Amino acid sequence: MDFKQIEYFIAIINSGSFSRAAEILYMSQPALSKQIKALETEIGVDLFNRKEKGCSLTKAGEIFLTFAQKVREDKNDFINELGICTERTSSTIRIGALPIVTLPTYNFSSMIASFQALYFQYTIEYIEIDQHTLLHMLKENRIEMAIGRNGDENDNHFDILPLAIDEFVLVLHKNHPLAGRKVIALKELATENFILVGHKSALFGQCTNAFNAANISPRIIHTNTRHKIVLEMVSKELGITLQPRNMVDNDPNLKTIALQEPFYSTVSLVRPKDKVYSPPSLVFWNYVKDNYALKSGLAKTAAATRLKTQTVARAATRAL
């Protein structure tokens, strides 16, 4: 029995099947099955009831799961303590993030700077990239953590610390005929020209879900990877946009209006499940968890709101 077999076992539990676990672990299903079979042979019991679709734990598997989780936790604690005892001075934490981190409305720059001041022995290697690339880099272990927006694709396979909840608003030029409104329904915007953040962003997917829920097909005339360029185009009266309120600049030419059907985006610190974390990354994760993560009540509210929006959007899509 080795640590990798324990990690493979837990990955199957979290993903619900051998095939999905193999995909997450970037290995073939036969190779994963061979490792689990070797583990079962060594301990002398079957851990899984193998089915045509998915799998479930045997009674022995349920007992082994408790053991496996404790072994992984103890190993992480040991590595963390070992790192502290050896007083490493050049340990690096690799973090990817959306460009929003530098916006003062989020306070994430302060979070990173405060950590660095307390733990000067660690070096933060920081890169700004889009949401789509963030997820790929996490899965490929090119970064250890990411500050990104929650979506369907990362809820099941990543540990998540919610950091901020954003409400989407309509952004338009102050001279737009609708600029005097305080609240507006999305269906009233069906004939407007939309300028949105690009297709690879979580924001684009959330806007699409909201449009589907409102049963409209908006006229999208431009998409851009940079939200500041989107806002600049709106400021030039080239169209309107939907963006989280915290991303909207204090441009005197721009006006924000609340949506009658509000929807939200949660910005979180995320890391892959089912892996052994380096001592510096564990320290950073715990620091953020203790000092910057949203309290559980707010986090649950954000998750419930996001789920409700996604459910309504899927129902509307099926109805079309």
**CA 203 – CA 201 distance, rounded (Å):** 5
pTM: 0.62
Residue 113 has what pLDDT? 87
Residue 128 has what pLDDT? 85
209 in Cβ contact with 292 (< 8 Å): no
More confident residue, 83 or 228: 228
> Are 91-163+266-307 and 165-264 equal in CATH topology?
yes
Average pLDDT, rounded, for the chain: 82
28: confidence class by pLDDT, cuts 50, 70, 90: confident
Which of 237, 238, 234, 220 has its CA nearest to residue 169? 234
Neighbour-count burial for 99-122, b at 16+ CB within 10 Å, e otherwise: ebbebeebebeebbeebeeebeeb
Domain 165-264: which topology?
D-Maltodextrin-Binding Protein; domain 2 (3.40.190)
177: confidence class by pLDDT, cuts 50, 70, 90: very high
Residues 134-157: pLDDT tens digits?
888 887 788 899 998 875 444 577
Which of 267, 265, 266, 237 has its CA nearest to residue 251? 237
Domain 91-163+266-307: which topology?
D-Maltodextrin-Binding Protein; domain 2 (3.40.190)
Q: Mean pLDDT check: name the lowest of 120-124, 257-261, 306-310.
A: 306-310
Domain ranges of the chain: 3-85, 91-163+266-307, 165-264
* The token pair that represents 81 in the structure block: 């303590």
85: confidence class by pLDDT, cuts 50, 70, 90: low
β-pair partners for 48:
57
Neighbour-count burial for 194-222, b at 16+ CB within 10 Å, e otherwise: bbbbbebbbbbbbbbbbbbbbebebebee
Residue 179 has what pLDDT? 94
Is 26's pLDDT higher than 70?
Answer: no
Query: 50: which DSSP letter?
Result: E
- 80: Cβ contacts below 8 Å, ≥ 6 apart: 279, 282, 283
Residue 237 Ramachandran class (φ > 0 left, ψ -120 to 50 alpha, else beta):
left
CATH number for region 3-85: 1.10.10.10
Q: How far apart are the first and last CA of the chain?
A: 52
